[in-house]
């Protein structure tokens, strides 16, 4: 339901609605954080297969003189087995103000430092955004040469993979994410964050959350920034072969009839292998995968080997896969080499973005502020979104609220929520339980006792420890020691008192 409709139906003011959104967002963070903190010490996580992708979220223009949308980029990671959304992070900080940042940059001499070492390196200043958009537009004017390399990938899929590599090569920084566009603008309130920073922080968060997992397998969108983020976040795990990353490129821009034709052809090919080899569907899929792995297509500046996925469905009719961390030495023993190749084939067959794309699809359907736009009537054909947010901060909070609802309240066909499958909940959680959730108080700890301070003794009284019942000491010795004790305490001795 649109926010304006909610205000009208409930008969409340916009201020009350936004206050309630802030409260629910805070409750969702507290509730999910308390549950997810338990993953840090879980020893039974086993192997986790994670799908990571990005989604564009559009914010309407608020100034008629500058009819440009603000584009937010959300990166999310979902567990393939349980469907649990580990995180969904948007490149926006609503707490920061561009004018104050400019003042602070001048005050601390930020501009004199290289970008990575600046205090505010993570944020986009509006002028920097506009300048980068102009430079990116100029670099895109050059024509791209068509490659004449032989290929085993379908033509449209090959072209999509190559175009993505070419677009990344044209960036000022290949790991920076999507370039700014002259058709968009920086937000009026809050500040955009560099996508490169958000991608790195997102992968760092997910890998630390699953630090006790036996192995981590990332299947990610074809984006150089995500590849760099994984290699920087878990370099030791990549080297000891407990973490891997795969590019996945999916072509979805087909009509329903075209998708049915592609899926039907893939199924006929699979059934033929099953019939010819006399094997079941799983083994036939493995045979097809081994066949594709024997002739990969090398694409891009670094010659990444791409593999055509032999299985097709309506959600992912055509997809290519590239193993980014293939550093294993080939086995020399024929039997071990056969087992090694079959293991590689199984990993490639697991490549999919369906788990995270399911969340993105539900974000579009459940949040009216995240719906796709319609073409405006103006000559420039810009997009206008009738129900979308005008304040990016509201959109960011609603995404996090929906992530919590998706994980703990949405029940699947098996009667379980993603949190139940991951072992973070025993049953579906109601929205009321999240809204009125109160975290448990930390255990009370008794403060350590303070050592007692020695009390000054009255005149003429000597400390008891000076007396030894087993030894009679001379009276003169006791008097002398008693006088020294009193002087240390600032008291007068009997002789000084006269």
Digit-coded pLDDT (tens) for 202-258: 999 999 999 999 999 999 999 999 999 999 999 999 999 999 999 999 988 888 999
Sequence spans of domains, the chain: 3-435, 458-498
d(CA 21, CA 57): 18
Q: No. of H helices and E strands in the chain?
A: 16, 12
DSSP for 342-386?
A: HHHHHHHHT---HHHHHHHHHHHHH-GGG---EE-SSTT--EE-T
Phi, psi of 195 (to 5 degrees): -60, -35
Contact 352, 219 (CB under 8 A): yes
Total length of the chain: 498
Q: What is the mean pLDDT of residues 69-93?
A: 93
**Tokens at residue 376, please?**
């405006």
pLDDT at 481 over 60: no
The burial of 215, by beta-carbon neighbours within 10 Å (0-12 exposed, 13-18 middle, 19 or more buried), is given as middle
321: confidence class by pLDDT, cuts 50, 70, 90: very high
The three-class DSSP label of residue 297 is strand
Range of weakest confidence among 88-102, 408-422, 449-463, 472-486: 472-486
Contact 313, 286 (CB under 8 A): no
Q: What is the mean pLDDT of residues 318-337?
A: 91
* Predicted structure pTM score: 0.81
The three-class DSSP label of residue 446 is coil
Give the mean pLDDT of the chain.
Answer: 84
DSSP for 31-88?
A: HHHHHHGGGGG-S---EEEEEEEEEEEEE--S-TTS--BEEEEEEEEEETTT--EEEE
Phi, psi of 97 (to 5 degrees): -125, 130
């Amino acid at each position: 339901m649109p926010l304006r409709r909610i205000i009208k139906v409930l008969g409340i003011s916009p201020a009350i609605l936004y206050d309630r959104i802030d409260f629910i967002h805070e409750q969702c963070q507290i509730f999910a954080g308390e549950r997810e903190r338990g993953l840090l010490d879980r020893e039974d996580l086993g192997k986790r297969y994670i799908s990571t992708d990005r989604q564009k979220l559009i914010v309407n223009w608020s100034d008629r003189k500058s009819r440009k949308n603000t584009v937010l980029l959300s990166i999310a990671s979902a567990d393939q087995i349980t469907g649990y959304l580990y995180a969904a992070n948007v490149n926006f900080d609503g707490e920061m103000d561009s004018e104050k940042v400019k003042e602070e940059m001048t005050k601390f001499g930020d501009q004199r430092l290289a970008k990575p070492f600046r205090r505010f390196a993570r944020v986009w200043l509006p002028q920097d955004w506009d300048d980068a958009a102009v430079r990116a537009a100029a670099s895109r004017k050059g024509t791209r040469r068509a490659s004449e390399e032989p290929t085993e990938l379908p033509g449209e899929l090959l072209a999509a993979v190559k175009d993505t590599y070419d677009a990344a090569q044209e960036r000022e920084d290949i790991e920076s994410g999507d370039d700014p566009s002259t058709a968009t603008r920086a937000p009026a309130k809050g500040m955009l964050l560099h996508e490169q920073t958000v991608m790195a922080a997102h992968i760092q968060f997910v890998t630390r959350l699953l630090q006790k997992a036996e192995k981590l397998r990332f299947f990610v969108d074809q984006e150089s920034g995500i590849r760099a983020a994984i290699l920087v976040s878990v370099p030791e795990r990549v080297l000891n072969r407990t973490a891997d990353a795969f590019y996945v490129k999916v072509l979805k821009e087909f009509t329903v009839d075209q998708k049915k034709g592609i899926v039907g052809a893939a199924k006929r090919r699979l059934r033929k292998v099953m019939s010819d080899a006399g094997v079941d569907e799983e083994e036939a899929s493995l045979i097809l995968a081994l066949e594709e792995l024997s002739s990969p297509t090398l694409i891009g500046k670094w010659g990444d080997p791409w593999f055509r996925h032999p299985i097709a469905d309506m959600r992912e009719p055509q997809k290519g896969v590239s193993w980014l961390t293939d550093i294993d030495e080939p086995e020399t023993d024929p039997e071990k080499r056969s087992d090694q190749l079959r293991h590689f084939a199984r990993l490639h067959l697991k490549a999919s973005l369906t788990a995270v794309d399911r969340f993105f699809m539900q974000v579009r359907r459940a949040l009216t502020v995240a719906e796709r736009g319609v073409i405006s009537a103006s000559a420039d054909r810009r997009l206008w979104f009738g129900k979308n947010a005008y304040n990016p901060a509201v959109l960011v909070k609603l995404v996090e609220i929906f992530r919590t609802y998706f994980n703990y309240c949405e029940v699947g066909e098996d009667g379980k929520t993603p949190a139940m499958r991951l072992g973070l909940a025993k049953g579906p959680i109601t929205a009321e339980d999240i809204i009125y959730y109160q975290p448990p108080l930390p255990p009370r700890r008794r403060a350590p006792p303070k050592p007692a301070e020695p009390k000054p003794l009255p005149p003429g009284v000597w400390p008891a420890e000076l007396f030894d019942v087993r030894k009679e000491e001379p009276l003169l010795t006791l008097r002398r020691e008693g006088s020294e004790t009193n002087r240390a305490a600032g008291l007068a001795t009997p002789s000084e008192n006269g």
